[in-house]
Structure 1
């Protein structure tokens, strides 16, 4: 049986954004799947309902209020987190706002002072504490006719102030590795469904046609030089280090990511498996520093270590990540900048949401030349037996056998690359033209069911990863993030 999962998600947003309804619907959805769901109340509402008014607070009082609010929030959340760990079922913990929301209401200087005074840091409070952040955009931004504060005893903001608070609430979370913005581009029911599906995507739960069609990741090549910092909206910069790991299964990819600011780091182990039933299975597990170092010993020498500066920013309710590749690395990465976002838009609508201050050279979505797997290869792509991956969703096409020996000739690999885009036969849920020896006509019949080999300290079964018992700030199983459109089995035999 797969290990139990505990998944912590923050629902945040400006006034009248649908957080309350979203929590209720999310709770019902996961309880129907057999999960235990905990709902952490909004700490600010609890305190403000006791008679506290911001208008009555001095500057010093306001600072102390936010500091104590954050301390209270952390303690309340920890109670629910511990209950989630001790529960026997898969557990979803929904936090009505989270630790970083407090930073939206005080200056950066005071926030930094609060962090230093209490021994906190942004990486722990933002990146390591929660698995996913969902920002529900206020109705004051895009659905003004539906904006109202009548049903909220602690809310009295006008539309303009509500927009400002909405932006601040979103900006507070810029930089979290799994941050999604749910805007008002569609009706309210669709907004709620998008929110639920967004969480299911990260968990690796297949929702079929019950919810809105998934947004996709799009990627653009950015032409240098990089604009000055003043051209950007408020942003967060991170140092990111990627290492690919050795795997025994030719159709599986494993990598480590180290991501941090000012010496504080978070660590993620990712396993990507073959395409099954039209979906890519990608499992992400949060690691402790110790586990990261242990797994780093398994790095694949066929790949360079990838060093990036990742700039995260928000424009017009669209969240972007700009990856700026750094030395050392292969010359093909020199000066490389790639912009990524998730969206359901296409054509002119997609073009209109892109940052105008960046020089977008071309759309490289799905182009294997710009996959990190290929970019990190030490060898040249046109060499005999190259591990170059022609299909981003199928690493078996990279031509790797156990130990890295090529499985097919250049000619046959080219044929496979051409066929990869064609409709494929399926057997046991695995598409044809996947593992080949001499040609593209051999279909893997085992469904890879028994062929997986996992790295030490890696994924246990299909879902859960490292048990971080020794790190209080990284709750056990707390870093598990299923890949986009993945497939996950769950406890009690429930399969979505």
Structure 2
């Protein structure tokens, strides 16, 4: 693995000085251009909540700020990744998880299949290897300033590569070595909120709308301890227990992204981990793939918020609206045997939403999906063209992590109120194996319904009495 990654790593190192110089041009602009405390015409600071409580957001989920600050801000933190040509994936995870090797493997795999591949380097590594030092972090104010500049650099690099990838006119993949949400794992909650508010950002937009998928590679310190080392990264200093804690914080930082996948260290070894990663990316870009899939369980009720609190499990909750348009993707006569398209709106508890489209096609019995983000206007257009023979599905989704498992519970609001289905993202070796879940969840399980079309969203969306599920729990 080290040998396979040596060439790309060396190339990245050689390019480091150039990238650092390029980014310094952005970050060295006059203070007014990047003023984080710009004042409105009445003298009040423009960042943070208003004196009357609550914030005003524009259609892309970004806080509204005075015109002078809008003109000065060169970054696009909540830019919707809705390109037909470019997909953007984040590779994240704790130390020694295999990111460097994964970047090399994915690049080779995708280029061999005709994709252009671009890699946005890790902004933090550029800074740490070009003069920054831990000794510079003398106070929380220093950490705040660093995290703000780090996020601006990350956004600049990503947007630069995205723009250039678009100009090629070819199907491309941008692999990001970490993303905007990683900084949350390296600072206190108060500092993180300041990082967002001082720039007029909101968490849902910079997490859900910027990236098509988040791929988390679990640190070797969790499940492959004998392979954990810091020798192959000069910026790595964490002890194994620190690496495990950091890995968990990174998982929680990205919790809630609609396509957040965690790759664990299992008996299949490192090669098995890479195979699972490549299979997932294949599905994301529309290539045939097998392996990882969701297991589904019918619940007789929804766990209470207190259940999660008592178990010490952080959650992210969203309202989800799913619509099946008539012809938004030219899939005339689509069906669950040949393929179909759906669009969805996903909003957090503050009402900040992200939008997406999924095109599904069935080839030789294999399901292939292509996903992209949408703007609010694109979603509204698809919604106006909803298939009248299908329900618009509305659910409340609760996401949480349980050990090495990524889990969410979908409680239907319409058309089948209180139908509850548990989804567990499972590696191939966990298919058919009894899962150990929180006790308050296990007691609610009625039966496993993995592979049962009766409980697929596509089937449930049909406005036909015959599609009513035979069992809907105790309610």
Which TM-score tier does this pair reach, normalised by the shorter chain?
0.7 to 0.9
Aligned partners of 2:411, 2:366: CA distance in 1, in Å?
A: 29
Aligned partners of 2:357, 2:365: CA distance in 1, in Å?
A: 23
Q: Compare relative contact order (CA 8 Å, sep 6+) and give the higher one, 1 or 2.
A: 1
Aligned partners of 1:246, 1:89: CA distance in 2, in Å?
A: 28
**Is 1:272 the counterpart of 2:396 in the alignment?**
no
* Stretches of structure 1 lacking an aligned partner (at least 5 in a row): 208-212, 382-386, 391-496
| Root mean square deviation, CA, Å | 2.3
**C-alpha displacement of 1:346:** 4.3
**Is 1:9 the counterpart of 2:89 in the alignment?**
yes
Residue 393 of structure 2: aligned partner: 306
Which residues of 2 match residues 73-222 of structure 1 at below 5 A? 73-185=154-266, 186-206=268-288, 213-222=290-299
More helix by share: 2
Which residues of 2 match residues 376-391 of structure 1 at below 5 A? 376-381=461-466
- Distance of aligned partners of 1:370 and 1:61 in 2 relative to their CA distance in 1, 3 Å threshold: same
TM-score by length of 2: 0.74
- Distance of aligned partners of 1:4 and 1:109 in 2 relative to their CA distance in 1, 3 Å threshold: closer
**C-alpha displacement of 1:136:** 0.6
1:374-430 Cα offsets, whole Å, 9 max, x none, are 33344321xxxxx7899xxxxxxxxxxxxxxxxxxxxxxxxxxxxxxxxxxxxxxxx
Aligned partners of 2:219, 2:109: CA distance in 1, in Å?
A: 23
**Is 1:62 the counterpart of 2:139 in the alignment?**
no
Aligned partners of 1:348, 1:379: CA distance in 2, in Å?
A: 32
Residue 383 of structure 2: aligned partner: 296
**C-alpha displacement of 1:277:** 1.4
- Aligned with 1:36 (options 116, 132, 139): 116
**C-alpha displacement of 1:244:** 2.4
Aligned partners of 2:270, 2:358: CA distance in 1, in Å?
A: 34
Aligned partners of 1:88, 1:373: CA distance in 2, in Å?
A: 33
**C-alpha displacement of 1:300:** 2.4
TM-score by length of 1: 0.71
Aligned partners of 2:257, 2:150: CA distance in 1, in Å?
A: 21
Aligned partners of 1:4, 1:312: CA distance in 2, in Å?
A: 28
Secondary structure of the 1:226 match is coil
- Aligned with 2:104 (options 24, 45, 59): 24
Aligned partners of 2:312, 2:429: CA distance in 1, in Å?
A: 23
Aligned partners of 2:100, 2:340: CA distance in 1, in Å?
A: 39
Residue 429 of structure 1: aligned partner: none
Aligned partners of 1:92, 1:372: CA distance in 2, in Å?
A: 29
Residue 338 of structure 1: aligned partner: 421
Aligned partners of 1:96, 1:263: CA distance in 2, in Å?
A: 30
Aligned partners of 1:69, 1:18: CA distance in 2, in Å?
A: 22
* Stretches of structure 2 lacking an aligned partner (at least 5 in a row): 1-82, 471-475
